[in-house]
């Protein structure tokens, strides 16, 4: 996933404006205006690196003379105590940007690190880990980027790039007739023939209806392992399968043996713990 420069600049400008507003009072009072210094980003716990391209733009927004030297690669596993990056230049600008930079880096590294755990839990399975749309408003591209850095794959980015017929869609589609899944799929094919279609199925009857409707993906929602096995047998290769709902790390090894194509996990973005990373001024 490419992160557009304009998007990164906008989100950095908004974050700086939120934190700084009329000025960094403490730094402006204490730090001489022309003082030059350097600082290091050091992780206190093992993590997967994600977010350095954002930090580069953030510091340039604060001061064009600041230089960020990234010492690890995006997606790299970093052991505790790793110097992930160094920033050098105007001391006021570095201190003003410290918390915003850490907020971004800790958040994105947290998502990448949790994603890596889920990916590794699948072992040698061909099943792939997907994210969801359960992201922080305004930060979706960043958070989905972090999932990629952790070895996961992106589901649809938004409502526009894949048809996904969920339970509430099916309820309203019943106004069209009794065979709501078939009618909903037909309506979507006619309106958006270029988009792939996924149907969320809560039971085996809905799995059968979705498979017969010829969709590309069927989401097996909150199903037991046994029910998913039966669903995969019914689908018989006619659509890709995706497990979702109540997916935990503990369940992943057993899911890896079912023959699923994908497992989607909202927790990658809505519940990933921040990584403990510090910014240490070098005297």
Q: Is residue 221 part of a domain?
A: yes
> Are residues 40 and 101 both part of a single domain?
yes
Tell me how far apart the alpha carbons of residues 42 and 44 are, in angstroms, rounded to a whole number: 7
Is 162 catalytic? The answer is: no
Q: Worst-scoring range by mean pLDDT, 42-51, 123-132, 163-172?
A: 163-172
> Are residues 251 and 219 both part of a single domain?
yes
Our CA angle for 133, 208, 191, nearest 5°, is 55
Is 156 catalytic? The answer is: no
Instruction: Enumerate residues 6+ apart whose C-beta is below 8 A from 207.
Output: 201, 218, 220, 231, 234, 235
DSSP 51-117: -HHHHHHHHHHH-TT-EEEE-S-TT-EE-TT-EEEEEEEEHHHHHHHHHHHHHHHHHHHHHHHHHHH
pLDDT digits (tens, 9 = 90+) for 86-101: 999 999 999 999 999 9
Q: Is residue 127 part of a domain?
A: no
Predicted local distance difference test score (pLDDT) of residue 10: 97
> Are residues 15 and 114 both part of a single domain?
yes
pLDDT digits (tens, 9 = 90+) for 220-250: 999 999 999 999 999 999 999 999 999 999 9
Go through the chain and tell me how many residues it has. 283
Predicted local distance difference test score (pLDDT) of residue 215: 98
> Are residues 176 and 277 both part of a single domain?
no
Q: Is residue 139 part of a domain?
A: no
Is 233 catalytic? The answer is: no
> The CATH number of the domain where 59 resides is what?
3.90.1170.20
> Are residues 97 and 191 both part of a single domain?
no
Placement of tokens 């199903």 in the chain: 223
Q: Is residue 143 part of a domain?
A: no
Please, which pLDDT band fits residue 173 given cuts at 50, 70 and 90? confident
Active-site residue identified among 61, 200, 206, 242: 200
Tell me how far apart the alpha carbons of residues 38 and 255 are, in angstroms, rounded to a whole number: 47
Mean pLDDT over 199-204 rounds to 97
Q: Is residue 131 part of a domain?
A: no
Active-site residue identified among 60, 86, 134, 189: 134
Active-site residue identified among 5, 44, 166, 257: 166
Is 221 catalytic? The answer is: yes
Q: Is residue 140 part of a domain?
A: no
- Which of these, 150, 187, 157, lies nearest to 76 by C-alpha position? 150
Checking if the pLDDT of 61 tops 90, the result is yes
Checking if the pLDDT of 133 tops 90, the result is yes
Phi, psi of 184 (to 5 degrees): -65, -45
Active-site residue identified among 99, 161, 171, 280: 99
Please, which pLDDT band fits residue 174 given cuts at 50, 70 and 90? confident
Q: Is residue 134 part of a domain?
A: no
- Which of these, 205, 202, 129, lies nearest to 165 by C-alpha position? 202
> Are residues 97 and 56 both part of a single domain?
yes
> Are residues 14 and 97 both part of a single domain?
yes
Chain centroid to CA 88: 30
Is 202 catalytic? The answer is: no
> The CATH number of the domain where 197 resides is what?
3.20.20.70
> Are residues 203 and 260 both part of a single domain?
yes
Mean pLDDT over 120-130 rounds to 97
Mean pLDDT value across the chain: 96
Predicted local distance difference test score (pLDDT) of residue 177: 76
Host domain of residue 105: 5-119+272-282
Q: Is residue 153 part of a domain?
A: no
Percent of the chain, pLDDT > 70?
A: 100
> Are residues 95 and 174 both part of a single domain?
no
> Are residues 253 and 167 both part of a single domain?
yes
> Are residues 68 and 166 both part of a single domain?
no
> Are residues 203 and 102 both part of a single domain?
no
Coil vs helix vs strand at 242: strand
pTM of this structure = 0.96
Mean pLDDT over 21-25 rounds to 96
CB contact at 8 A, 135 and 269:
yes
How many structural domains is the chain composed of?
2
| 183-220 b/e (C-beta count within 10 Å ≥ 16 → b) | bbbeebeeeeeebebbbbbbebebbbbbbebebebbbb
């Amino acid at each position: 996933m490419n992160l557009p420069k304009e998007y990164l600049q906008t989100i950095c400008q908004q974050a700086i404006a939120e934190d700084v507003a009329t000025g960094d009072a403490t730094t402006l009072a204490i730090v001489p205006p022309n003082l030059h210094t350097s600082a290091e980003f050091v992780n206190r716990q093992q993590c997967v690196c994600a977010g350095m391209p954002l930090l580069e733009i953030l510091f340039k927004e604060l001061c064009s003379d600041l230089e960020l030297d990234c010492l690890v690669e995006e997606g790299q596993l970093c052991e505790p105590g790793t110097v992930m990056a160094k920033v050098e230049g105007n001391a006021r600008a570095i201190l003003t940007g410290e918390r915003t930079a850490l907020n971004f880096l800790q958040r994105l590294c947290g998502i990448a690190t949790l994603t890596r755990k889920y990916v590794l839990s699948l072992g040698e399975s061909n099943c792939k880990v997907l994210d969801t749309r359960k992201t922080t408003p305004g930060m979706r591209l960043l958070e989905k980027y972090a999932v990629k850095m952790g070895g996961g794959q992106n589901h649809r980015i938004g409502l526009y790039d894949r048809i996904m017929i969920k339970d509430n869609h099916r309820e309203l589609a019943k106004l069209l007739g009794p065979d709501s899944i078939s009618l909903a799929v037909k309506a979507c094919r006619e309106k958006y023939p270029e988009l792939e279609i996924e149907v969320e199925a809560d039971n085996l009857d809905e799995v059968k209806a979705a498979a017969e409707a010829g969709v590309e993906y069927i989401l097996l929602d909150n199903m037991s392992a046994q029910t998913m096995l039966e669903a995969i047998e019914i689908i018989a290769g006619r659509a890709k399968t995706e497990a979702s709902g109540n997916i935990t790390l503990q369940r992943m090894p057993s899911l890896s043996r079912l023959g699923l194509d994908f497992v989607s996990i909202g927790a990658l973005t809505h519940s990933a713990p921040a990584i403990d990373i510090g910014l240490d001024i070098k005297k």
